[in-house]
Amino acid sequence: MREQAGNRKRRPCHPAQRCRCRFARAVGPPFGDPTPGPVLAPLARRVTSPGVDLRSALLAILPDERRVVDGESVLDQHGRDLSHHEPRRPDVVVFPESTIEVARVLALASAERIPVVPFGAGTSLEGHVIPIAGGISLSLARMARVVAVRPDELNATVQPGLTRLALNTAAGDHGLFFPVDPGADASLGGMAATNASGTTTVRYGGMRRNVLALEVALADGSVVRTGTRAAKSSAGYDLTSLLIGSEGTLGVITELTVRLYGIPESIVAVRAAFATVEDACEVAATLVATGVAVSRLELVDGPTLRAVNAYKGTAFPETATLFIEVEQTDDDVREMCGTALTYESDSDPTRRARLWEARHHVLHALLASAPGRLHKSTDVCVPVPALAEAIQRARAAIEMRGLEASIVAHAGDGNYHVLFMLDPADPSERERAEALNAEIVEWALARGGTCTGEHGIGMGKLGYLEREHGDLLPLMRGIKALLDPAGILNPGKVFV
């Protein structure tokens, strides 16, 4: 690699930076070189077999053998996710500890046309972190510091590798919390990069609503800051929102400033079982439409609760059930759940956890009940009033295709998941699940919904993005070409 690199003229360091490094233009002007490269230049890697030379070049940036790793187990860990997508190892995994190190790795990779896949906690579900073109997996695990918690401003600045639970520990010391809660203990950088949301989205929104500002290292090694700590801003294009949900294809997030909220003094948890999914969804839609201040509004269907009971030895009613949390009192919720077969509520923290136990155990139950099987989840989001019909149709289609699957929904958002545990030895099962997903997506799009409410496109939903926003793809490709002209950042994800 060195020889080939030696034949090329390196880009000079940016003058404002007064940098003496070998490779990088580190902190430079927004978007670096103003002349965009060719639109989505195909990734013609100059380094076909990086091996020792790539390691040496990376070690010059990260001078520590433990931070430039090509041992098999580490490559394996960074070559797969928790889903059914085929694993593929990176050539090397790097563990930078600062923005400048991230920037220098990117500058090297851009110059050498080496793919770089940012890696947070690796909990995404659509093959996002799988380096399908090989190259560098760039782990943010060693950039996991809380930079500042500002209780008076209700915000915090953190490094991207910090996980949401660690942030909540730091915020909790000030009586504050960060609400976005995907089921896994994901990193804040990964959550921003997928525009994650969770059970509290109905009240607090997802990542896009809760990130005020970003620091981002761009593909050429320049570093930009978007947004401010002000509660709002009308200053030009909203590049923070553009970068959120970009799945590591436009830049590497190296710092985030996020909103915090006061921990509510009183929370009431509710579990209400209904005769049908339709009844449960109708109540959910009414709660949302009338603006009752629920902070969580989740649905688990009957067959899924049967699986939970079998796993836990519990006896939850095996029928569509709403799991609700409300701040202050549940009087309005109780009134609106008039059609419920059973209704239980509690504000004591221990008993609250017990009321929600079945919801929390859905994924554990599925994983435990299907050892060796691979997880696949659908993720459409529809307007809330369409949710009941969407779920009924999905359940009927599951049965018609002879599949087994659970259904859980963030009912307050109209976002639901059909969760399959697929037998890797049975390709027809995977095909039937994918065919069902395609049907579910078509139906959702026809009702004004989206193919993905929270998981993102990754490599698993490329066709669905085209189906949903095909007319916008040229615009998206133009943005990609401006920010990443060599196409090194997470190639093959979001669109090709």
Ligand X SMILES: Cc1cc2nc3c(=O)[nH]c(=O)nc-3n(C[C@H](O)[C@H](O)[C@H](O)COP(=O)(O)OP(=O)(O)OC[C@H]3O[C@@H](n4cnc5c(N)ncnc54)[C@H](O)[C@@H]3O)c2cc1C
Q: Which of 58, 129, 258, 280 binds ligand X (CB under 6 A)?
A: 129
The nearest distance, CB 333 to ligand X, in angstroms, is 22
- CA–CA distance from 258 to each of 149, 159, 316, 436, 464 (Å)? 10, 11, 37, 37, 30
Residues 6+ apart with CB under 8 A from 159: 140, 143, 144, 145, 146, 147, 189, 254, 255
Q: Which of 28, 50, 96, 122 binds ligand X (CB under 6 A)?
A: 122
123 binds ligand X, rule: CB under 6 A: yes
Asked whether the beta carbons of 409 and 298 are under 8 A apart, the reply is yes
Binding to ligand X (CB under 6 A) within 346-375 occurs at 363
179 binds ligand X, rule: CB under 6 A: no
Interface with ligand X by CB under 6 A: which range of 187-195, 283-291, 295-303, 320-328? 187-195
> Considering only CA atoms, which of 66, 58, 67, 65 is closest in space to residue 108?
58
- CA–CA distance from 356 to each of 155, 297, 299, 413 (Å)? 29, 11, 11, 19
Q: Which of 50, 179, 245, 248 binds ligand X (CB under 6 A)?
A: 248
419 binds ligand X, rule: CB under 6 A: no
105 binds ligand X, rule: CB under 6 A: no
Rounded to an integer, what distance in angstroms lies between the CA atom of residue 274 and that of residue 191? 33
CB closer to ligand X out of 19 and 409: 409
The nearest distance, CB 234 to ligand X, in angstroms, is 26
The nearest distance, CB 338 to ligand X, in angstroms, is 29
Interface with ligand X by CB under 6 A: which range of 39-47, 60-68, 120-128, 427-435? 120-128
The nearest distance, CB 182 to ligand X, in angstroms, is 3
Q: Which of 28, 32, 90, 120 binds ligand X (CB under 6 A)?
A: 120
DSSP 8-state assignment for residue 244: T
Burial of residue 72, with CB atoms counted within 10 A of its CB: 0-12 exposed, 13-18 middle, 19 or more buried: exposed
The nearest distance, CB 400 to ligand X, in angstroms, is 27
450 binds ligand X, rule: CB under 6 A: no
Residue 376 sits at φ, ψ, to 5 deg, of: -140, 135
Rounded to an integer, what distance in angstroms lies between the CA atom of residue 323 and that of residue 298? 5
Give, in degrees to the nearest 5, the angle at Cα 277 between 273 and 279.
70
Q: Which of 93, 105, 125, 167 binds ligand X (CB under 6 A)?
A: 125
Give Cα 240 to chain centroid, integer Å.
16
128 binds ligand X, rule: CB under 6 A: yes
CB closer to ligand X out of 183 and 303: 183
Interface with ligand X by CB under 6 A: which range of 44-52, 123-131, 167-175, 283-291? 123-131
CB closer to ligand X out of 51 and 463: 463
Residues 6+ apart with CB under 8 A from 336: 283, 286, 287, 290, 292
115 binds ligand X, rule: CB under 6 A: no
The nearest distance, CB 140 to ligand X, in angstroms, is 5
Rounded to an integer, what distance in angstroms lies between the CA atom of residue 65 and that of residue 335? 62
300 binds ligand X, rule: CB under 6 A: no
What is the residue whose two structure tokens read 């570093």? Answer: 223
Burial of residue 470, with CB atoms counted within 10 A of its CB: 0-12 exposed, 13-18 middle, 19 or more buried: exposed
CB closer to ligand X out of 155 and 163: 163
Q: 10 Å Cβ neighbour count for 358?
A: 21
CB closer to ligand X out of 345 and 377: 377
Burial of residue 482, with CB atoms counted within 10 A of its CB: 0-12 exposed, 13-18 middle, 19 or more buried: middle
Q: Which of 21, 41, 82, 166 binds ligand X (CB under 6 A)?
A: 82
Q: Which residues bind ligand X (CB under 6 A)?
A: 82, 117-125, 128-129, 140, 160, 182-184, 186-187, 189-191, 193-194, 196-198, 247-248, 252-253, 363, 454-455, 490, 493
